[in-house]
């Protein structure tokens, strides 16, 4: 059995910016857990699956990727919420019909496969974001950090050409397979 995650990874420049904010949260607000996870936008929360099923899952994901076109998303500012375990500070993703449509198509595709290797939540429950700090972020420190983050201007536009199946190696998430979007690019 392996632990996997389905996610969109940002370009390296954006990933490095997010990592710097994660380091800042660790050094200034005692919230270091975010450093354990590479910057990403979750498509499917971590799930366990027998490693012998991964070739079939990758085949399904590649079939999907061949039908889908690259699309654009915009990262725009920051947000926070109170999660089950702790408060969360994250990079906001502008309401993106392209990302919502992509997720809905992916969910429909995977949920309709006959072998049912992976099930995605309904599209109306999908709330994409890129986490900066969570799990060990106290409410008190979130309030302090939020006074800083709410003042920052941050806008980045990304073209999404691929998404990833990530595997946890016991210490951290690693890229397992890149799924290329091979349809005609969207405007």
CATH of the domain at 154: 3.90.1140.10
The answer to whether residue 164 is domain-embedded is yes
The answer to whether residue 186 is domain-embedded is no
The answer to whether residue 185 is domain-embedded is no
**For 48-138, where are the alpha helices, taking DSSP H only?**
54-67, 97-111
| Mean pLDDT (whole number) for 146-172 | 95
CB-based contact 123:103 (threshold 8 Å):
yes
The answer to whether residue 187 is domain-embedded is no
The answer to whether residue 119 is domain-embedded is yes
| pTM check: above 0.85 | yes
Residues spanned by the domain of 20 = 2-180
Number of domains comprising the chain:
1
| Mean pLDDT (whole number) for 114-138 | 88
pLDDT digits (tens, 9 = 90+) for 16-70: 999 999 999 999 999 999 998 999 999 999 999 999 999 999 999 999 999 999 9
pLDDT digits (tens, 9 = 90+) for 62-93: 999 999 999 999 999 999 998 778 899 999 99
């Amino acid at each position: 059995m392996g632990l996997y995650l389905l996610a969109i990874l940002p370009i390296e420049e954006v990933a490095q910016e997010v990592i710097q904010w994660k380091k800042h949260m660790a050094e200034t607000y005692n919230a270091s857990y975010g450093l354990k996870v590479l910057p990403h936008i979750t498509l499917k929360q971590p799930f366990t699956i027998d490693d012998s099923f991964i070739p079939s899952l990758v085949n399904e994901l590649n079939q999907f990727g061949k039908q889908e076109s690259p699309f654009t998303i915009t990262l725009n500012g920051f947000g926070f919420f109170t999660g089950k375990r702790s408060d969360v500070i994250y990079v906001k993703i502008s309401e993106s019909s392209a990302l919502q449509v992509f997720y809905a198509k992916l969910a429909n595709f995977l949920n309709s496969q006959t072998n049912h290797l992976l099930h995605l939540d309904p599209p109306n429950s999908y709330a994409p974001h890129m986490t900066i700090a969570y799990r060990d972020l106290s409410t008190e420190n979130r309030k302090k950090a939020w006074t800083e983050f709410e003042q920052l201007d941050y806008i980045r536009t990304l073209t999404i050409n691929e998404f990833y199946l990530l595997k946890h190696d016991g210490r951290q998430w690693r890229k397992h397979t890149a799924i290329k979007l091979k349809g005609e690019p969207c405007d």
